[in-house]
Amino acid sequence: MTTLVAIDGLVKNFDASGPAAIDGLTTQIKSNQVTGLVGPDGAGKTTLIRLMAALLTPSDGVIKTCGFDTRDTPEPIRDVIGYMPQKFGLYEDLTVMENLTLYADLRGVVDPQRKDTFERLLAFTDLARFTNRLAGALSGGMKQKLGLACAMLRSPKLLLLDEPSVGVDPISRRELWRMVYTLIGEGVGVVWSTAYLDEAENCAEVIVMNAGRVLYQGDPKAMTATMAGRVFYARGAGAERREGLARALQNPDIVDGVMQGQTIRLVTAQGAPPPTPEILGVAAPVEIVATAPRFEDAFVAMLGGASKRTLSAQARRPVDETDAPSVEARGLTRRFGDFTAADHITFRIHRGEIFGLLGPNGAGKSTTFKMMCGLLRPSEGAALVDGLDLAKAPSAARARLGYMAQKFSLYGDLSVRQNLEFFAGAYGLSGARRRDAVARVVDAFDLTPHLNANAGGLPLGFKQRLALAAAIMHEPPVLFLDEPTSGVDPLTRREFWATINAMVGRGVTVMVTTHFMDEAEYCDRVALIYRGKAIATGAPEELQARVRSEKMPNPTLEDAFIALVEESDRQREAAA
Amino acid sequence: MSAPSGRWRRIRALIVKETRQVSRDPSSFVVAFVLPALLLFLFGFGISFDATRLKVGLVIEDPTPASREFLIALSNTPYFDVHESSDRRAFIDDLSAGKLNGVIVLAGDFSEKLARGDTAAIQVISDGSDPNTAALVTGYMQGAWASWREKRGLGAEAPPGQIEIKARFWFNPELQSRRFLVPGSISLIQMMIGSMLTALVVSREWERGTMEALLATPVGVVEFIIGKLVPNFVLGMIAMGVCVAASLFVFDIPLRGSFLVLTGFTAIFLMVALSIGLLISTVARTQFIASQIAMLVAFLPGLYFSGFLFEVASMPAPLRVFARVVPAYYYVPGLQTIFLAGDIWAVILPESLVLIVMAIALFTLTARKTRQRLD
């Protein structure tokens, strides 16, 4: 095992007055293993990878890639590395084969070795069937594989992958990891940056970064092991579990807590006693059991634990309890020509429930979601909010729902206050009602310190809070979230869900679309959408129980997801 | 691997890639072919500084055989669409509303004065709010008046003892404005393809993240630049071919110079335009900004300061100085010369030299400014 990248006292400043993106970093990257570069958004992961690829010049310190100084000799580095940027670096208007040929020419992979290389890579990535398809027409997972193939053409010594798993469903992600492990066997060193902490556990070594500094470097299992005996499941809190979690987080002995379906996962502070059922303060009998720690537990504990901030949960008035479902899809179908994007999808969401639409890219989630929002007219079936048909009474139904898009629809050049006032106006609030609405969300979401700052310059967590505040300005009883925390670091994600939990506690109904298991675990129930059909609906635990087998005694939600999709594929093939 | 062979392979690969992208991208097709055609037809047919069928009102206050004769003579020219009345008040409203371009008054003593040989026999009232048309009405009217008098054997109006001026127009005897508008619009089209399209395709690489991937390969700055230049150069020359064919066969514009000189001269100008495009792309990272900058620094100056729409010599001094750094200022007169006069080396050679110097300077600047890193 040799050192591929040697970094000594590295500093990178983009803006002389601002904070450094990389702040005095010293580390080494070794060959024959996957080194995970783990950290929240803005930690400096991408900057570090670009510095390794000699795409950026260090402000101070030295970084040597494969023995060459990136400052003085960038050219030889480009011959020995493979680099896949975040957007994969593919030409979308060229076919798979044309992309491969281009990069082969640029990297000096010529005949006769080219033919073998192409055959090997196409078989490896399973893209042989698609060589004549335009790269832009590939799914996210296939694009990622092609990007990887292009980066690997000339068997690099060092392969740099910048967040390769963003926007990729679990199945493709698993395949990608399999491919990367094959490379390790061939002696390549891989750097894999990610904001998903479950991926860190796949790495031989992790470099945990925050604010341009290294927090931890070493075996992820060793880091996870420091949490042994500090992680517990609290089961049986029932309907009060969200309030229970919020109460437990106020306890100084608890550093972290998240919802996993019906279960609460609690992490205690170093040296603190195991939690007692009392700290949840719920009426139902709660059973507390110790469980194995995850890397994420160690990561959050290292960053100082989950935020203790509580929301003054006055985001909305109490609602009348009724038995009717709050949101309902009745045989929702949408056809585009011959293609059926959504095929008789039916589900009911009850008041105060968090419901997830889960599925791989292109499965029909977005189509379903758009019909639920009234943005797309169903070919068949109906979408109802509070009993109102979105196709028949669109404005009345839409007035009852708040919608937070994946890309926050905020005006970056307007201040927080101006954004809120604009959205209040957009929802038809004026005069005293508008002032009240703005004051209420500012108070509820703790936005006072940032009121006059431009929304574009806010930290991600605040942007998200602001987007949510804007979406619920008109106090909707139903809230739709489209991949609300994709690519968001664990601390911000916890903060966001604490807000959502507080709102659900007040009777708001939430529907989430996502392909991230983390988000799905916050849901009471999920519907798994695949090839336009809802192939399974139920609580996360129920789905996990459905796939439990001797081979998989303890399936995660991701395991369940993959197993159910594969089962559906088998059934379809058997029928055909 | 040896550097030279690797270099040529990489350049070739980039050119092939670029060509494929251009051939698949409807927007480059629009910029390269539809836009030139549109501009050409706009300037060839839409805009004209000539007037035919000027709408005039003829007021005949005292109908006589002489005035009747003048009316017929006026109606028979291709320049006037004549309406007749005996009272000037009938036309005043139409003139104010812009429905008439001018009013001609033959006063009650028209025939009487004509017989005496007096001068102020007719009065022309034109709409001064549109000076161009007003001048045309007055000018054409004078011409029509003079030729009518001549025909009647009254002789030209020049008082004895003064020099008589007779104009002869060389190269463009019918004084058709399209003959110099079309060559001018060719320069705009070359600028458009050279600067705008080139800046767009480079900034697109930044936008889509492919630039980052390219920078991490062994591709060098010069290779990248050549890879962008060659396909767009070819595209520009094809567009020139389209323009020339349209000029010759659709607009009936003569090509008095040689095709070879035209091609060479255009190639030099296209190199300047391409260098401007590449220079823009070193600062613009999004297609939107690239197109805005290209519009401001390449297209608009080419429109205003090339002298084909607006006379540079009559501009204020600072603008005249500025015009000298606009490449089209040198290209358009040369182009008009090649089309309308011939291969006049005294015009083409110095202008080519200036353009070559510009191209070399811009290209050097671009190669220096193009970064091989992201910061």
- Express each pLDDT in A160-183 by its tens digit: 999 888 767 777 788 888 888 888
Spatial contact of A54 and A83, defined as CB atoms under 8 Å apart: no
Contact residues on chain A for B7, CB-CB shorter than 8 A: none
Residue A313: the pLDDT is 46
Contact residues on chain A for B25, CB-CB shorter than 8 A: 93
- The CATH superfamily label for domain A3-218 reads P-loop containing nucleotide triphosphate hydrolases (3.40.50.300)
Task: Write phi, then psi, for B353 (nearest 5 degrees).
Answer: -60, -45
Assess if residue B1 is contained within a domain: no
- Express each pLDDT in A413-450 by its tens digit: 899 999 999 988 888 888 898 998 898 888 877 788 88
Cα–Cα distance for residue pair A296/A303, rounded to 1 Å: 11
Residue A323: the pLDDT is 62
The size of chain A, in residues, is 576
Q: Count the alpha carbons within 13 Å of A435 in the hemisphere toward its beta carbon.
A: 2
Mean pLDDT of A198-215: 87
pLDDT confidence bin for B349, thresholds 50/70/90:
very high
B146: burial class by Cβ within 10 Å (0-12, 13-18, 19+)? middle
Cα–Cα distance for residue pair A138/A382, rounded to 1 Å: 31
pLDDT at B268 over 90: yes
- The amino acid present at B162, given as its one-letter code, is Q
Which has the closest alpha carbon to B117: B144, B152, B86, B141?
Answer: B152
pLDDT at B293 over 90: yes
Cα–Cα distance for residue pair B29/B24, rounded to 1 Å: 8
Contact residues on chain A for B6, CB-CB shorter than 8 A: 108
Question: Do B102 and B147 have their domain in common?
Answer: yes
Mean pLDDT of B263-277: 93
Residue B159: the pLDDT is 47
Chain A's closest residue to B223, CA to CA, is: A106
Which are the contacts of B1, defined by CB distance < 8 A and separation ≥ 6?
A108
Mean pLDDT of A217-233: 92
Assess if residue B184 is contained within a domain: yes
- Express each pLDDT in A17-46 by its tens digit: 777 888 888 999 998 999 999 887 778 888
- Express each pLDDT in B117-148 by its tens digit: 666 567 888 777 776 677 777 777 777 777 77
Assess if residue B15 is contained within a domain: yes
Q: Where are the domains of chain A?
A: 3-218, 229-303, 327-538
Q: How many CB atoms lie within 10 A of CB A463?
A: 19
Residue A88 contacts B where some CB pair is shorter than 8 Å: yes
Question: Do B144 and B180 have their domain in common?
Answer: no
Cα–Cα distance for residue pair A334/A132, rounded to 1 Å: 29
Q: Which residues are paired to A536 by β-bridges?
A: A528
Mean pLDDT of A542-560: 87
Question: Do B72 and B202 have their domain in common?
Answer: no
Question: Do B201 and B136 have their domain in common?
Answer: no
Question: Do B239 and B315 have their domain in common?
Answer: yes
- Express each pLDDT in A103-158 by its tens digit: 999 998 888 889 988 998 898 888 888 899 899 888 777 888 899 899 888 889 99
Interface test with B, best of A102, A134, A146, A158 (most B CBs within 10 A): A102
Residue B117: the pLDDT is 67
For residue A29, give the H/E element and its range: strand A22-30
Predicted TM-score (pTM) of this structure: 0.76
pLDDT at B27 over 80: no
pLDDT at A336 over 50: yes
pLDDT confidence bin for B5, thresholds 50/70/90:
low
Task: State which CATH number among 1.10.3470, 1.20.1070, 3.30.70, 1.20.120 fits the domain covering A229-303.
Answer: 3.30.70
- Express each pLDDT in A44-77 by its tens digit: 888 999 999 999 999 999 999 999 999 988 889 9
Which are the contacts of A534, defined by CB distance < 8 A and separation ≥ 6?
A345, A346, A347, A527, A528
Contact B17 A83 (CB under 8 A): no
Contact residues on chain B for A91, CB-CB shorter than 8 A: 17, 21, 208, 210
Distance (Å) from the C-alpha of residue B234 to the closest C-alpha of chain A?
20
Distance (Å) from the C-alpha of residue A94 to the closest C-alpha of chain B?
7
Residue B333: the pLDDT is 87
Residue A312: the pLDDT is 46
Mean confidence (pLDDT) of chain B: 82
Chain A's closest residue to B216, CA to CA, is: A78
Gap between the terminal Cα atoms of chain B: 29
Cα–Cα distance for residue pair A32/A317, rounded to 1 Å: 58
Mean pLDDT of A290-316: 74
Which has the closest alpha carbon to B209: A46, A141, A218?
Answer: A46
Question: Do B127 and B276 have their domain in common?
Answer: no
Does residue A171 sit in helix, strand or coil?
Answer: helix
Question: Do B200 and B319 have their domain in common?
Answer: yes
Residue A319: the pLDDT is 44
Contact B17 A88 (CB under 8 A): no
pLDDT-wise least confident of A185-199, A365-379, B115-129, B198-212: B115-129
Residue A522 vs residues A23, A339, A554, B13, B248: alpha-carbon distances, Å? 35, 32, 19, 49, 72
Strand arrangement of the beta sheet that strand A189-194 belongs to: A81-84, A158-162, A189-194, A34-38, A205-210, A213-218
- Express each pLDDT in A90-118 by its tens digit: 999 999 999 999 999 999 888 888 998 89
Which are the contacts of B98, defined by CB distance < 8 A and separation ≥ 6?
B127, B130
pLDDT confidence bin for B157, thresholds 50/70/90:
low
Spatial contact of A275 and A249, defined as CB atoms under 8 Å apart: no
Whether the bond into A112 is cis, omega within 30 of 0: yes
Residue A259: the pLDDT is 83
Assess if residue B41 is contained within a domain: yes
Strand arrangement of the beta sheet that strand B80-85 belongs to: B80-85, B54-60, B102-106, B122-126
pLDDT at A278 over 50: yes
Assess if residue B171 is contained within a domain: no
Number of structural domains (chain B) is 2
Residue B216: domain span: 10-47+176-374
- Express each pLDDT in A444-477 by its tens digit: 777 888 888 888 877 777 788 888 888 888 888 8
- The amino acid present at A262, given as its one-letter code, is Q
Mean confidence (pLDDT) of chain A: 86
Does residue B267 sit in helix, strand or coil?
Answer: helix
pLDDT at A315 over 50: no
Q: Which residue has the higher pLDDT, B238 or B137?
A: B238
pLDDT at B40 over 90: no
Residue B168: the pLDDT is 55
Residue A512 contacts B where some CB pair is shorter than 8 Å: no
Question: Do B255 and B331 have their domain in common?
Answer: yes
Contact A108 B16 (CB under 8 A): no
Chain A's closest residue to B210, CA to CA, is: A89
Mean pLDDT of B179-199: 83
Contact A105 B12 (CB under 8 A): yes
Contact residues on chain A for B213, CB-CB shorter than 8 A: 83-85, 88-90, 150-151
B250: burial class by Cβ within 10 Å (0-12, 13-18, 19+)? middle
Spatial contact of B228 and B273, defined as CB atoms under 8 Å apart: no
Question: Do B207 and B257 have their domain in common?
Answer: yes
| DSSP result, A364-402 | SHHHHHHHHHTSS--SEEEEEETTEETTTSHHHHHTTEE
Strand arrangement of the beta sheet that strand A60-65 belongs to: A22-30, A3-12, A60-65, A68-69
Mean pLDDT of B105-122: 73
CATH topology identical between A3-218 and A327-538? yes
Residue B155: the pLDDT is 54
Mean pLDDT of B186-201: 86
Cα–Cα distance for residue pair A54/A295, rounded to 1 Å: 31
Domain end, chosen from B94, B118, B151, is at B151
Contact A55 B212 (CB under 8 A): yes
Contact A84 B208 (CB under 8 A): no
CATH number at residue B124: 3.40.1710.10
Mean pLDDT of A2-27: 87
Question: Do B204 and B135 have their domain in common?
Answer: no
Query: For every residue of A327-361, which 3-state class applies, written as one string?
Result: EEEEEEEEEECCEEEEEEEEEEECCCCEEEEECCC
- Alpha carbon B261 to its chain centroid, in Å, reads 20
Assess if residue B344 is contained within a domain: yes
- Express each pLDDT in B47-82 by its tens digit: 666 666 778 888 888 788 888 888 888 888 777 888
Question: Do B219 and B364 have their domain in common?
Answer: yes
Using a pLDDT cut of 90, give the percent of chain A over it: 29
Cα–Cα distance for residue pair B362/B279, rounded to 1 Å: 7
pLDDT at B278 over 80: yes
Residue B356: the pLDDT is 95
Contact residues on chain A for B16, CB-CB shorter than 8 A: 102
Spatial contact of A569 and A530, defined as CB atoms under 8 Å apart: no
- ipTM, two decimals, is 0.73
- Express each pLDDT in A445-454 by its tens digit: 778 888 888 8
Which are the contacts of B90, defined by CB distance < 8 A and separation ≥ 6?
B57, B59
Contact B24 A93 (CB under 8 A): yes
Question: Do B263 and B139 have their domain in common?
Answer: no
Residue A83 contacts B where some CB pair is shorter than 8 Å: yes
SS3 content of chain B, % helix, strand, coil (to 5): 65, 5, 30
Residue with structure tokens 């894999």? A192
Residue A336 contacts B where some CB pair is shorter than 8 Å: no
Contact A57 B373 (CB under 8 A): yes
Mean pLDDT of A370-376: 87
- Express each pLDDT in A509-537 by its tens digit: 999 988 777 788 888 899 999 888 999 99
Chain A's closest residue to B371, CA to CA, is: A55
- The CATH superfamily label for domain A327-538 reads P-loop containing nucleotide triphosphate hydrolases (3.40.50.300)
Mean pLDDT of A483-491: 75
